């Protein structure tokens, strides 16, 4: 039993050394700024278009605006999990 724990500890040490030897520098905040802006741009356009240009007047309008995309995302996640489970 002690041999097995030493073996597991040795593997963990080897894995840790490999991770520390690799070049794991922290990226600066401005690296990849174009990609970050491409991700945030549709969200900003959606919020500006929804609340400034086309302001919802009732509570049901606001709930529909937020529940409809969430429902689409949930349907997509359900389909993803179903397809991944069939691949196994």
Q: What is the reported pLDDT for 28?
A: 63
pLDDT per position as a tens digit, 28-37: 666 777 777 8
**What is the pLDDT, as a whole number, of residue 19?**
66
pLDDT value, residue 66: 81
Position 11 scores a pLDDT of: 77
Q: Where are the domains of the chain?
A: 2-87
Residue numbers of the chain with a pLDDT score lower than 50: none
* Total-model pTM: 0.40
Helix (H, G, I), strand (E, B) or coil at 59: helix
The number of residues in the chain equals: 88
């Amino acid at each position: 039993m002690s041999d097995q724990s030493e073996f597991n500890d040795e593997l963990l040490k080897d894995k840790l050394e490999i991770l520390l030897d690799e070049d794991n520098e922290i990226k600066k905040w401005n690296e990849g700024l174009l990609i970050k802006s491409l991700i945030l741009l549709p969200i900003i356009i959606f919020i500006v278009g929804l609340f400034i240009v086309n302001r919802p007047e009732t509570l049901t309008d606001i709930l529909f605006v937020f529940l409809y995309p969430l429902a689409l995302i949930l349907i997509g996640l359900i389909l993803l999990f179903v397809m991944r489970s069939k691949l196994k």
